[in-house]
Amino acid sequence: MNQNVFNFRNGGRYVCISLLQEHILNFLLDFLPRHNCMLRIVHCLGVEQANKEKNADDAMKLPVFVVIATKFKSLPMPILEFGLGNDKMQRFTESAELSNAVSSVQKAALVCNGLARSSIAGHDEVTLDLYRPSENTPRYSIYILDQPAARGLGKYAAFIVPQGREVEWLFGTPAGRKKLQASAKFQRLAVVTLHRDQVYNTLDEVKAELGDTVTSLAPFGLNEQIPYLSLGSDVGKRETLISGFSKISGDFRIEEVAAGGKTLRRLIFLSNQFVVQSEALVKTIKIKGKKERKKIDFGYLACQHHLYMSVGVQLATTLQNPKKNEQKDVLVIGLGGGGLCSFLHGALPHSRITAVEIDPIMLEVAEQYFELKQDKRFHVVIDDGLAFVERCRNEDIHFDAVLFDVDSKDLSLGMSCPPQGFLAHDVLLHIKEIIGPKGLFMLNLVCRDETLKTEAMANLQKVFPAVCSYKLEEDINEVVYCANDEKYKTVEHWQKAMGTAGRGLNTAIKEHKLANEDALEVAEFLSELKI
């Protein structure tokens, strides 16, 4: 190459076909820019497609590249370009950027080769992010799952998740996607999610855009057309109402998405954008002679653990303290969009609710976008939850029910709800005093680390004589109930009290027109209570 380049006239070109192994790529990136050559590398998709059409499995199908070096008299800075088949060229100024672009194609090819040759049934799913040229945020994410071959299963399909639905358990968790694959009945399923801040026009356009990638993920020997599955005939709708920033929670969005014929309003923290922080059902109200307007449905509880916490509040404020016409005090640590507080306020008019939220921006969000309203039975305190609990204990302030529904901002920890500091021994002792002999303490426990979970439950059992829990079927959430009352030593006593409370909550919900049907399956709930 040295002699060829030195003999070039200005505008002359050197062209070669290469697999661009690491040592070759490094040489080109070092040598050509130093000798005033513009370097362009193009991925030859046509070669790979031709190899695939031969249907030969005798060798790995490595990506092939065309290398084009164009000589200039002088270049004040390197000109480096990369192209993916028919896409427009990406221009880089740093060698590392071009190297990374080539490397990403090669790594993707290794994954596709592995998936073509073998099944990953019994192993974790494989995840790929797809980017448009020159963009730094993914346009699609693809999750590939395999299950063992069985009668009645198709070979391979792709499932496109409508935008806004990727946060749902069925699509947003490995366990949910396994359930989706089982119901779809395919040995291999590629689950495709669509990202925010991207434009998707039609489902057919999305299919066309994904076509080559979906084909490259197919098992070897598949000759039939690959079916595309979805929940409907469109790509879904996602509307951003506001983008904001909080010093505590970081960047956030309020979005409205269409899901199953409903409109859902969601609070999303972009630091953990596949988890819905708060969600509300939006109804359209038609008033004769006036314009339609949107209204939040306070009877809708998006987070199922809120329903089971509400049963505990019903128990603490009615059965444990049965005096009629007396306001019962409820403390909720963690406000979010205020869905739980609004529900309790509407369903339990005998309750007086205090919510503590550390982030003042979240209160503004809850009031402006989730119709949270403070009154004589409900008020919000902007404070650190732990500091507020300590102050209540020091000032001898008591509550009939205390709820911890607060998440950790450190996503690296194995326990995301509550933050570990909320289960410190001193904090639990404060709660023990605050609820008194008849009160109830509830927390939403979200813990992926079994060691941390065992430690958390042990800490609770050291402080409270009676501890009971309910594990949600489809989530990792577990609602834990703690009492000072010795009569709740056995699960039978919990079941009896919770059964009465659950039926009472169902009655209250219908009586106050929050729903027309029972919200709680009492028998199923009681059967899964554990101590």
pLDDT score at 258 = 85
183 backbone dihedrals φ, ψ, rounded to 5°: -75, -30
What string of pLDDT tens digits covers the 531 residues of the chain?
555 555 678 888 889 999 999 999 999 999 999 888 999 999 987 776 666 656 555 455 788 999 999 999 888 899 999 988 766 788 898 999 999 989 988 988 888 888 888 999 999 999 999 988 778 889 999 999 999 999 989 999 999 999 988 888 889 889 889 999 999 999 999 999 999 889 999 999 999 999 888 988 999 888 889 999 998 888 888 899 999 999 988 999 999 998 878 899 999 998 877 788 899 999 988 877 777 889 999 999 988 899 999 999 999 998 766 666 688 999 999 998 999 999 999 999 999 999 999 999 999 999 999 999 999 999 999 999 999 999 999 999 999 999 999 887 665 566 778 888 899 999 999 999 999 999 999 999 988 788 888 999 999 999 999 999 999 876 778 999 999 988 888 999 999 999 999 999 999 999 999 999 999 999 999 999 998
Sheet hosting strand 154-160, strand order edge to edge: 126-130, 140-146, 186-194, 154-160, 228-229
What pLDDT, in 10s, does the model give residues 219-269?
988 888 999 999 888 888 889 999 999 998 899 999 999 887 889 999 999
Are the C-beta atoms of 343 and 505 separated by less than 8 Å?
no
Are the C-beta atoms of 469 and 530 separated by less than 8 Å?
yes
How far apart, in Å, are the Cα atoms of 265 and each of 68, 257, 261, 338?
51, 7, 13, 13
Angle (CA) 103 105 109, round 5°: 115
How far apart CA 297 and CA 280 sit, in angstroms, is 7
The HSE-up count of residue 285 (CA atoms within 13 Å, CB side) is 9
Q: Where are the beta strands (DSSP E) in 405-465?
A: 415-417, 440-447
Are the C-beta atoms of 495 and 526 separated by less than 8 Å?
yes
How far apart CA 322 and CA 357 sit, in angstroms, is 29
Element (H, E) at 25: helix 22-34
155 backbone dihedrals φ, ψ, rounded to 5°: -75, -50
How far apart CA 195 and CA 206 sit, in angstroms, is 12
Give the bridge partners for 192, in sequence order: 142, 160
Sort strands 238-246 and 228-229 into parallel, antiparallel or unpaired.
unpaired
Q: Among 194, 196, 137, which residue's Cα sits nearest to residue 171?
A: 194
Give the bridge partners for 141, in sequence order: 129, 193
Question: CA Rg, the chain, in Å?
Answer: 29
* pTM for this model (two decimals): 0.76
CATH of 304-530, one of 1.20.120.80, 3.90.25.10, 3.40.50.150, 3.30.1370.60: 3.40.50.150
For residue 491, give the 3-state DSSP assignment.
helix
Distance of CA 516 to the CA centre of its chain: 30
Are the C-beta atoms of 186 and 252 separated by less than 8 Å?
no
How far apart CA 303 and CA 476 sit, in angstroms, is 12
pLDDT score at 44 = 86
Rounding to the nearest 10 degrees, give the CA dihedral for residues 422, 416, 412, 370: -110
Q: Where are the beta strands (DSSP E) in 328-394?
A: 328-333, 351-357, 378-382
pLDDT score at 56 = 55
| Tokens describing residue 518 | 């029972």
pLDDT score at 469 = 95
pLDDT score at 52 = 60
Are the C-beta atoms of 109 and 128 separated by less than 8 Å?
no
Are the C-beta atoms of 368 and 280 separated by less than 8 Å?
no
Q: Among 477, 509, 484, 463, which residue's Cα sits nearest to residue 314?
A: 509
Instruction: Provide the H-helix boundaries in 227-359.
Output: 304-314, 339-347
Distance of CA 429 to the CA centre of its chain: 34
Sort strands 238-246 and 262-269 into parallel, antiparallel or unpaired.
unpaired
How far apart CA 143 and CA 129 sit, in angstroms, is 9
How far apart CA 487 and CA 485 sit, in angstroms, is 6
Are the C-beta atoms of 311 and 498 separated by less than 8 Å?
yes
How far apart CA 66 and CA 17 sit, in angstroms, is 5
Instruction: Provide the H-helix boundaries in 58-202.
Output: 95-117, 169-172, 174-184
Query: Which residue has tokens 């503590």?
Result: 356
Domain definitions of the chain by residue range = 2-114, 118-229, 238-297, 304-530
